Structure 1
Amino acid sequence: MKMTQLGSDGPQISQFGIGAMSFAGLYGDATVEESHAVLDACRYAGVTHIDTANVYGNGRSEELIGRWFGANPGVRDEVVLATKAGITRDPERRFNNDPDHLEMSLDESLERLGVDHVDIFYVHRYDRTHSPEDVGGTLKRLIDKGKTRAVGFSEIAPSTLRRAATECPIAAVQSEYSLSTRAPELGLIQTCAERGTTLVAFSPVGRAFLTDAPFSYERAQSMAFTKSNPRFVEPNYGANIAATDRFRSLAADMGEPAAALAIAWLIAQGDHVLPIPGTKNTNHLAELLRGTELNLSKEDRQRIDEVLPVGWAHGDRYTQSQWEGPERYC
């Protein structure tokens, strides 16, 4: 397993993590047995990073991980554990970065996880009623209280990262980043590298488009998120399947699963880039893990760029309502 450093002065961490939204979240719930089988397989493969959030299944994802810790004494000390808060169920205030709210949310997460601290605590969505400096100060106090060892943000602009970092070291920033979503290359990946911040890439296989088994149109229409997402509605869906068919053909020519090639491409973008795919299926996990074993040559990357050039995807990555919260910066 390839290893990297978390942030500028954090621990060594596998350059591949498991995103636990797949256990409970946008794409349905996993059973206890399914989620624990994935976690067991990750442990066996040397994956040392688990990423979850309080909103994934309204705490169910955290509870499943907590039960896994309970069933495997000592495993907590082997992993870098991350969770997030800041998204609410209040329609009047969807995002809340108030100091008391973030600390209360973290306390509740710790209880569900059955631990006394996490290794990374993220602000899941930046609340613009606070300045980045104020939120950075709040996060610093949570570190000082011993409730988290490091902190991060999700879906923020490079300018917000720089401002928050004046009050607290920001170990990691999460952003959607893949061959289908290249926006982080317009400033975020560079700012993270300059500041020694790890860029944690979620949805690294393009919400299944970059796999050998992309969601069928019927399945996409059965899930709340993809049902209205611009990339999964026609005519965009059909165009995106046609575009990624070229990628699947390339992967087959190279003798690799498409998902492995997508993961390998991300890891090749820099030692500070850490993909966190999610899955309920150990067979799919094996395809994803295969990407950590590949070393793409310059020629390999050129072939990938030829079949999926920058800007190939049809449709925005979010609807207007889904864009509420994430920061646009280009």
Structure 2
Amino acid sequence: MKQRQLGNGGPLVGAVGLGCMSFAGFYGETDIATSHDTLDACRDHGVDFLDTALIYGMGKSEEVIGSYLKENPNHGFKIATKGGIETKPTRHFDNSEGALRRALESSMTRLGVDYIDLYYIHRREQERPIEDVTETLAKFIKEGKIGGIGYSEIAPSSLRRAHAVYPIMAVQSEYSLWTRQPEMGMIQTCEELGVAFVPFSPVARGMFADTLPNPETFGGSDFRKDQPRFTGENFTANCAKLDRFRDFCTSRGWSPAGAAIAWTLDQGDHLIPIPGTRSRAHLEQLVDGDAIEFTDEDRAEIKRILPIGWAHGDRYSDAQIVGVERYC
């Protein structure tokens, strides 16, 4: 697999990483053996950048990864995890030094490591200046606990404020052929500042799979069941568009998932998508995207089939979107 740099001065990692939310059952039940097999497949294919978070199953995803790292001490993975979301007494955001230190140290314990390559603020606490939060994270770097600072779902203006305090390694946001907001300033700002942009959900939460998901089969823990894009007329309209895209991919000999990853990679050399899966077979389709080279004709046809703004419905429910900085 080709490699890309994780921000100015950061490590080189595979151009496609792995989002590990699925290891905590957000898209259906799984087990440790299946998750470990997926991690084996990552190593087989050069996927060496793993993204997890404390909030994923309240540590379950980190525990799964930690058990794998313990069994495979020469794994070669670069690890990113996230903190800043508290769930008790109710869900809220706490970016204070004390809360972040506790979160980081608990993540390190579950992962079985004494160093995290990249540590993200999962959601900003708006009442606390981002400059103060960045100073806290810079302190963690000086203490040798983390290698780089990241932020999730922030605005370009917030990135500029943070980067003025200490160089930011990465920003992650949802970005794909059906979620295009980062094109309104974040991708450009990251490129200007030398910050990696890390798209999560680049295959649209399974919508670019070979077979479209069926919302009627979503279990109680499935992250998608309340999202407007997966409900009613929105879902029907989205499926019709994706049927045409799937036909186009078939005519080119690509999987839809591989083509979706290739499109994301094609948007800039500083993008490192982190599709999520708990399956070796799905992972192998995703990494195929690194080998797809688009012609100008391909780009024009994709734009015609899936023009910017084509998706019906919001990407999050009203409850899920709390904390996301909406800048346009």
Q: Partner residue of 1:33?
A: 33
Instruction: Give matches, 1:59-70, under 5 Å.
Output: 59-70=59-70
Equivalent residues of 2:175, 2:181 under 8 A apart: yes
Q: Partner residue of 2:80?
A: 82
Instruction: Give matches, 1:138-287, under 5 Å.
Output: 138-220=136-218, 222-287=220-285
- Which letter maps to 2:154? I
Separation of aligned partners in 2, 1:29 and 1:144: 39
Separation of aligned partners in 2, 1:28 and 1:98: 33
Equivalent residues of 1:21, 1:61 under 8 A apart: yes
| 3-state DSSP of counterpart to 2:182 | helix
Equivalent residues of 1:266, 1:273 under 8 A apart: yes
Separation of aligned partners in 2, 1:288 and 1:210: 10
Deviation, 1:221, is 6.6
| 3-state DSSP of counterpart to 2:87 | coil
Equivalent residues of 2:176, 2:202 under 8 A apart: yes
Deviation, 1:175, is 0.3
- Which letter maps to 1:269? Q
Q: In the superposition, relative to structure 1, how do residues 72 and 141 fare at CA in structure 2: closer, same or farther (>3 Å)?
A: same
Instruction: Give matches, 1:81-100, under 5 Å.
Output: 81-92=79-90, 94-100=92-98
Q: Deviations over 1:130-175 (max 9, x none)?
A: 1111111111011111110101000000000000111111100000
Separation of aligned partners in 2, 1:212 and 1:12: 31
TM-score by length of structure 2 reads: 0.97
- Cα RMSD of the aligned pairs, angstroms, is 1.2
- Percent identity of paired positions between Structure 1 and Structure 2: 48
| 3-state DSSP of counterpart to 1:239 | helix
Q: Deviations over 1:162-194 (max 9, x none)?
A: 001111111000000000000000000000000
Separation of aligned partners in 2, 1:50 and 1:206: 18
Q: Partner residue of 1:53?
A: 53
Equivalent residues of 1:29, 1:57 under 8 A apart: no
- Which letter maps to 1:40? D
Which moved further from structure 2: 275-284 or 213-222? 213-222
Separation of aligned partners in 2, 1:283 and 1:225: 22
Q: Please, which runs of 5 or more residues in structure 2 have no aligned partner?
A: none
Q: Partner residue of 2:131?
A: 133
Q: In the superposition, relative to structure 1, how do residues 62 and 29 fare at CA in structure 2: closer, same or farther (>3 Å)?
A: farther
Large movers: runs of 4+ above 2 Å: 90-93, 219-225
Separation of aligned partners in 1, 2:125 and 2:222: 24
| 3-state DSSP of counterpart to 2:272 | strand
- Which letter maps to 2:190? C
Q: In the superposition, relative to structure 1, how do residues 57 and 222 fare at CA in structure 2: closer, same or farther (>3 Å)?
A: closer
Q: Please, which runs of 5 or more residues in structure 1 have no aligned partner?
A: none
- Which letter maps to 1:277? P
Which moved further from structure 2: 87-96 or 27-36? 87-96
Separation of aligned partners in 2, 1:221 and 1:303: 35
Equivalent residues of 1:220, 1:232 under 8 A apart: no
Separation of aligned partners in 2, 1:45 and 1:23: 19
Equivalent residues of 2:28, 2:218 under 8 A apart: no
Q: Deviations over 1:224-257 (max 9, x none)?
A: 4322111011010111111111111111111111
Q: Partner residue of 2:5?
A: 5
Q: In the superposition, relative to structure 1, how do residues 189 and 235 fare at CA in structure 2: closer, same or farther (>3 Å)?
A: same
- Which letter maps to 1:141? K
